[in-house]
Structure 1
Amino acid sequence: MPATDTPVTATSVTQTLHARRSVRAFADRRVDPALLKTIFAAAQRAPSGGNLQPWQATLVTGEPWQAVKDAVAARTAMGREGYEPEYDIYPKGLTEPWEARRFGVGEALYASLGIPREDKRGRLAQFMDNYRGFGAPVMLFLHCSRIMGPPQWSDMGMWLQSVMLLLVEHGLASCPQECWAMYGATIRRTLGLDDGQILFTGLAIGYADEDAAVNQWAVPRAPIEDVIDWQGF
């Protein structure tokens, strides 16, 4: 493994899983590209059906990253007319228990920032910070060929999880952001991707601002009894 100025900070899969969270405030600190290459090389061990490895990613920083932010800002200024969704991020008619989980995590996030429900402007401003990557110096855009189907999308998810855990192992942080898919065509044009590609998600990458309140609230998880049906044990 090439030497870097960033030490490995997690020593087991369990520790890394517990340490990983979606970070929504990043420190103003450069990320070593050599370290990222090491991480992505390791992530190539992620499994995929038939070894298709359908994931493709475009990594941006500096001026290219700013160009994406500027292009999307122009679309968000158009309101709903600016939407160019690649897919439905959440199912239409979402029912329980999933709707309660989605609502609950949103309320907990705003509570950590002291933004009450009646402060619509404050909540909108916080949401729009998504499209600045929460200050992350690096953004990964994950995409694949449009010929790929649901099994290959699940492969992309396994690759993405591998990347996120490896980032934690090396002292970095991330935030997966499907919200970028709301402006998929704009991002694809800005990145020079052809229409044969579909944008899945963004992944903000950097070093966490450890003092930010938005990075400190506890994110709940359902108990295993709610998701595992034990048969024959």
Structure 2
Amino acid sequence: MTDAPIIETGYENLNPVEEAVSQRRSVRAFLPDPVSEETIARILFLAGRAPSGTNMQPWKVEVVTGNARDALCADLVEAHHEGGHSGEYQYYPKEFFEPFKGRRRAVGWALYGLLDIKKGDFEKTKAQHARNFTFFDAPVGLIFTINRGLEIGSWLDFGMFMQNVMVLARSHGLETCPQAAFATFHKVIRNHVPIGEEDVVVAGMALGKADWSKIENTLITERVPLEDYVRFHRG
């Protein structure tokens, strides 16, 4: 197994928190090594220290492993190939526009370039997308849900909780991949885990040890320079 490729930050002597955040990436190939339930519970418990408006703590998590994970994945892959499913909320804009359109295309073609998936090769594209629904072979799948009566502020809080999960996982030698794709198949997921109708499936997440020997895990996404999104106002 090779080591993880280093993400250059421009800063030297990163402290442990900086390292955990700056080296986080979406991993798309995992080893089958199991993760103990104790470790999963520890990560999720500590992630619950995320801030939330008036301490509402809107997050819920369904954890699937073993046979439960395998059965869910089999049905999700089948549903993906059948098509005709839709999510309960709009994640992306209905029409992409710049600069977001360009950034989306860049990461998509960077990944497909590594995997030798050519433009117009719909079968390979669909097969790669289907790997989402096996959690990219990770032994642990997380499904995140939120009460549908809550508003955008609680969804923002949920994002901070999910970020905590991803960073805390790295402190245990684990990696993750957050996956909005699962929201499309909320009906299939409900057949496997008891999610009430009052809740919306927000996303899934793969959790496990990264397989750094796989070419897709060499992808390092670009980040725009600080001056593109930060302005200092000095008195």
Fold shared per TM-score above 0.5: yes
Which shifted more, 187-196 or 168-177? 187-196
1:68-107, aligned counterparts within 5 Å?
A: 68-79=72-83, 81=84, 83-107=85-109
Residue in structure 2 matched with residue 179 of structure 1 by the alignment: 181
Equivalent pairs: percent with the same residue? Answer: 35
Partners of 1:86 and 1:183 within 8 A in 2: no
Query: CA shift at 1:189, angstroms?
Result: 3.0
Q: Does 1:48 align with 2:87?
A: no
Partners of 2:183 and 2:203 within 8 A in 1: yes
Query: What is the CA–CA distance in structure 2 between the aligned matches of 1:25 and 1:43, rounded to whole Å?
Result: 24
1:49-198, aligned counterparts within 5 Å?
A: 49-79=53-83, 81=84, 83-198=85-200
Q: For 1:65-115, what per-residue CA distance to the aligned partner results, in whole angstroms no more than 9, with x for missing partners?
A: 122112223322322x2x131212211112100111111100011111222
3-state DSSP of counterpart to 1:190: coil
> Which runs of at least 4 in structure 1 moved beyond 4 Å after TM superposition?
none
Residue in structure 2 matched with residue 3 of structure 1 by the alignment: none
Which shifted more, 136-145 or 119-128? 119-128
Query: What is the CA–CA distance in structure 1 between the aligned matches of 2:199 and 2:52, rounded to whole Å?
Result: 19
Query: CA shift at 1:118, angstroms?
Result: 3.6
Partners of 1:84 and 1:186 within 8 A in 2: no
Q: Does 1:23 align with 2:52?
A: no
3-state DSSP of counterpart to 1:77: helix
Query: What is the CA–CA distance in structure 1 between the aligned matches of 2:149 and 2:212, rounded to whole Å?
Result: 41
Could you say what the CA RMSD is over the residues aligned between the two structures, in angstroms? 1.5
Query: CA shift at 1:190, angstroms?
Result: 2.0
Residue in structure 1 matched with residue 216 of structure 2 by the alignment: 214
Query: CA shift at 1:120, angstroms?
Result: 2.5
Letter in 2 for 1:191: V
Partners of 2:77 and 2:130 within 8 A in 1: no
3-state DSSP of counterpart to 1:27: coil
Letter in 2 for 1:75: A
Query: What is the CA–CA distance in structure 1 between the aligned matches of 2:68 and 2:86, rounded to whole Å?
Result: 20
For these two proteins, the number of residue pairs brought into alignment is 222
Query: What is the CA–CA distance in structure 2 between the aligned matches of 1:29 and 1:15, rounded to whole Å?
Result: 24
Q: Does 1:225 align with 2:208?
A: no
Partners of 1:110 and 1:116 within 8 A in 2: yes
Query: CA shift at 1:11, angstroms?
Result: 5.5
Structure 2: give runs of 5+ residues left out of the alignment: 1-13
Residue in structure 2 matched with residue 5 of structure 1 by the alignment: none
Query: CA shift at 1:230, angstroms?
Result: 2.4
Query: What is the CA–CA distance in structure 2 between the aligned matches of 1:40 and 1:19, rounded to whole Å?
Result: 20
